Structure 1
């Protein structure tokens, strides 16, 4: 996995505020999240992975083992359950909230950029990151 250890900085974001509204993120947190330009890095430790998302607002670490469900705390503090799987250079994450809402994150890693497509209900957000 040649994309492990690379840092990707966001260069474009489409429909992020609407996506956050759909998953129940409050106004103040949405405003803060919309104002920053996050950096994403995927790290590997044996069979385990850590997806680090950092910005001036907050840094989060999502630790997972592919194919195994884990408890996750979203950046807004909501507690959810997630499962991550790899298909080639694509990391797919399915996140389930206590209220039954299912959110899908598809992160496609390339040599120069990473494209993240997030879907909740009928709302899709696309964010593009370039290698630093």
Structure 2
């Protein structure tokens, strides 16, 4: 788990706009969201992990234990979600349910050396989105 404690910087994305549109992001905000290039970092203390995403208005830290569902919020409007992170070797899978009628979104984070690839899918969406990061 050499990726623990390392900061990964955003490099590029594929079809993220398609995901945002399907997920219900307001069309007038999609362009703004596409410009967002957060840093990612995962820390570990015992059996508790902290997922850290650096937003323009400050970092968002989510503490979790692998496999346990928790209540969280997303977006500037603090929309409530249910989320579960599962850590398996160099892969961290996060499932999110915000609007049950849309299904569950899955963010599969695969760490490979200096690279982090986040593959985003949804139950009821036939698309795939990817976001790419490099270790700082």
TM-score (norm 2): 0.87
Equivalent residue runs for 1:1-40 within 5 Å? 1-40=1-40
Cα offsets for 1:34-62 (capped at 9, x unmatched): 11221100011221111111143663222
Is the Cα contact below 8 Å between 1:83 and 1:93 reproduced in 2? yes
**1:128 lines up with 2:132 in the alignment:** yes
Q: Which residue of 2 aligns with 1:67?
A: 67
Q: Which residue of 2 aligns with 1:82?
A: 83
Is the Cα contact below 8 Å between 1:42 and 1:52 reproduced in 2? yes
Cα offsets for 1:88-121 (capped at 9, x unmatched): 1000111112434210110001221100000122
User: Across the two proteins, how many residue pairs are aligned to each other?
Assistant: 132
CA distance in 1, matches of 2:21, 2:42: 26
In structure 2, runs of 5+ residues without a counterpart are none
In structure 1, runs of 5+ residues without a counterpart are none
